[in-house]
C-alpha cells in the first residue's frame, strides 16, 4: 500500500473538487434500494462494500438496501447470462430497485472510433432499460481511466472519446455522474493489472462516489475512522446475496435441466424442491440487513 502522504494530498484535491456537491440536496430517499449495473470494476466495488458502508453510516435513518446486479464482462452491447436468467431490467424490478449506479464504456472502447456511434446508441437504450422511463434514478459513473503505466494503454486510445460519449449521455438525461480521474489523479497508481482497480483503488472510487451522492455527511465519515464491524457485516451480506443471485447450479434451478429427476422431489416429481430451497437465502439476507441498519444507526458519524 502506498505511503499516506501522497494519498492525502490527492484526497484533499478531490475534496476541493467535490465541494460544490457537498451542499447539494440529499440524493437518497427513505427505503431506497440501490442496485449496481456494470462490468468488472462495478462488480468488485459492490462486493467490496466500502461505498455501501459510507452511505449507510451517513444516512442510517434512510435504511438503504444494496443489491449487486453487475457482472464481469457486461457491456452496453451485451449482458451475457445463462439460459432463462432474467435480464437486468427484470432483476431490477424483482429487487425493487429505485436507484441504479451504473458504469460502462471501458472495455467497449477497445473497439475504437469506428464503434463510437454504436456505443452511444446502445448506451441510450440500456439507460432506458435501467431507468424504466424515470421510475428508477440512475447514477452514471464514467469509464476508466486506466493506469498511465499500463502495458495495455495503447489498446485504449479511443477511451477519451467514450468518456465524452458517457458524459454527454449523462448531461442529456440530467443524471448524477462522476468520472474517475477528475480528482487530481487519485486513482492513477491503484490498479491490479493496469486496467482494473485494486482494493485501494476501489476504496478511492467508493469515497468519490459516496462524496458525490452524500455531500457533507459523507465527508464527516471519511475523515473519521472506518467501522470494521460494519464492513464485515456488509461483506457477509453481499456474499449471501451472491449465493442467492448466482447459484452455481443454475441449470437445475431455472436453466435447461429443470426436468431432470434430481431437480424434482423423489416422492412427487411434480414438485421442484430447488426453487423453494433457494428462497431460504432471503430471510438470512434480510436478518443481516437489519443488523447492519442497527449498527449503522449506532455508529453514525463517530
- The mean per-residue pLDDT over the stretch 51-69 comes to 97
3-class state of residue 213 by DSSP: helix
In 3D space, the residue among 126, 111, 147 whose CA is nearest the CA of residue 78 turns out to be: 126
Assigned C-alpha cell, 159: 477511451
What percent of the chain has pLDDT above 70? Answer: 88
> Per-residue pLDDT for 259 more than 90?
no
Give 63-82 as a DSSP string: --EEEE---TT--SS-----
Residues 112 and 201 in one domain: yes
> Per-residue pLDDT for 260 more than 50?
yes
Where residue 178 falls among pLDDT bands split at 50, 70, 90?
confident
Residues 125 and 233 in one domain: no
Q: What is the DSSP letter of 85?
A: P
Q: Which of residues 226, 261, 281 is at a domain's end? A: 226
Residues 221 and 239 in one domain: no
Q: What is the pLDDT of residues 124-177, one digit of tens each?
A: 999 999 999 899 999 999 887 888 888 888 999 999 999 999 999 999 999 998
Residues 287 and 158 in one domain: no
Q: How far is CA 152 from CA 45, 68, 145, 157, 199, in A?
A: 22, 28, 12, 10, 20
Residues 180 and 59 in one domain: yes
Q: From CA 129, how far away is CA 133, in angstroms rounded?
A: 8
Residues 219 and 73 in one domain: yes
In 3D space, the residue among 147, 155, 143 whose CA is nearest the CA of residue 104 turns out to be: 143
Question: So what's the pLDDT on residue 224?
Answer: 75
Residues 215 and 241 in one domain: no
Question: So what's the pLDDT on residue 157?
Answer: 93
Assigned C-alpha cell, 146: 486506466
The length of the chain is: 302
Question: Which domain covers residue 105, as residue numbers?
Answer: 4-226
In 3D space, the residue among 81, 79, 87, 88 whose CA is nearest the CA of residue 35 turns out to be: 88
Range in 70-79, 268-277, 278-287 with the lowest mean pLDDT: 268-277
**φ, ψ of residue 78 in degrees (nearest 5):** -155, 140
Assigned C-alpha cell, 41: 470494476
> Rounded to 5 degrees, what angle do the CA atoms 190, 168, 187 make?
10
With residue 103 as reference, give the H or E element that holds it: strand 99-103
Question: So what's the pLDDT on residue 180?
Answer: 64
- The mean per-residue pLDDT over the stretch 102-124 comes to 97
Residues 157 and 294 in one domain: no
Residues 40 and 100 in one domain: yes
Residues 201 and 236 in one domain: no
pTM: 0.88
Where residue 261 falls among pLDDT bands split at 50, 70, 90?
confident
Residues 117 and 253 in one domain: no
Question: So what's the pLDDT on residue 181?
Answer: 58
Q: Which of residues 165, 193, 226 is at a domain's end? A: 226
Count of domains observed in the chain: 2
Q: What is the pLDDT of residues 98-108, one digit of tens each?
A: 999 999 999 99
Q: Which of residues 200, 226, 252 is at a domain's end? A: 226
CATH number at residue 200: 3.40.50.1110
Assigned C-alpha cell, 211: 462524496
Question: So what's the pLDDT on residue 40?
Answer: 95
Amino acid at each position: 500500500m502506498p505511503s499516506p502522504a501522497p494519498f492525502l494530498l490527492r484526497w484533499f484535491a478531490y475534496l476541493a473538487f467535490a465541494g460544490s456537491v457537498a451542499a447539494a440536496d440529499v440524493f437518497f430517499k427513505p427505503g431506497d434500494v440501490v442496485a449496481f449495473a456494470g462490468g468488472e470494476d462495478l462488480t468488485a466495488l459492490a462486493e467490496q462494500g466500502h461505498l455501501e458502508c459510507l452511505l449507510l453510516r451517513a444516512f442510517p435513518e434512510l435504511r438503504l438496501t444494496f443489491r449487486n446486479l453487475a457482472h464481469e464482462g457486461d457491456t452496453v452491447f451485451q449482458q451475457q447470462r445463462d439460459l432463462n436468467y432474467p435480464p437486468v431490467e427484470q432483476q431490477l424490478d424483482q429487487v425493487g430497485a429505485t436507484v441504479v449506479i451504473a458504469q460502462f464504456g471501458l472495455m467497449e472502447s477497445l473497439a475504437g472510433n469506428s464503434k463510437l456511434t454504436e456505443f452511444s446508441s446502445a448506451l441510450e437504450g440500456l439507460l432506458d432499460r435501467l431507468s424504466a422511463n424515470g421510475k428508477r434514478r440512475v447514477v452514471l459513473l464514467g469509464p476508466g481511466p486506466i493506469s498511465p503505466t499500463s502495458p495495455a494503454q495503447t489498446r485504449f486510445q479511443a477511451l477519451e472519446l467514450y468518456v465524452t460519449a458517457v458524459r454527454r449521455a449523462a448531461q442529456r438525461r440530467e443524471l448524477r455522474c462522476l468520472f474517475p480521474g477528475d480528482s487530481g489523479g487519485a486513482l492513477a497508481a491503484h490498479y491490479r493489472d493496469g486496467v482494473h482497480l485494486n482494493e485501494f483503488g476501489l476504496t478511492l472510487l467508493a469515497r468519490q462516489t459516496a462524496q458525490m451522492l452524500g455531500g457533507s455527511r459523507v465527508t464527516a465519515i471519511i475523515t473519521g475512522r472506518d467501522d470494521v464491524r460494519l464492513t464485515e457485516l456488509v461483506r457477509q451480506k453481499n456474499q449471501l446475496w451472491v449465493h442467492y443471485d448466482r447459484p452455481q447450479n443454475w441449470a437445475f434451478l431455472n436453466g435447461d435441466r429443470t426436468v431432470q429427476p434430481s431437480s424434482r422431489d423423489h416422492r412427487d416429481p411434480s414438485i421442484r424442491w430447488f426453487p423453494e430451497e433457494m428462497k431460504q437465502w432471503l430471510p438470512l439476507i434480510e436478518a443481516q440487513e437489519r443488523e447492519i441498519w442497527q449498527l449503522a444507526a449506532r455508529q453514525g458519524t463517530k
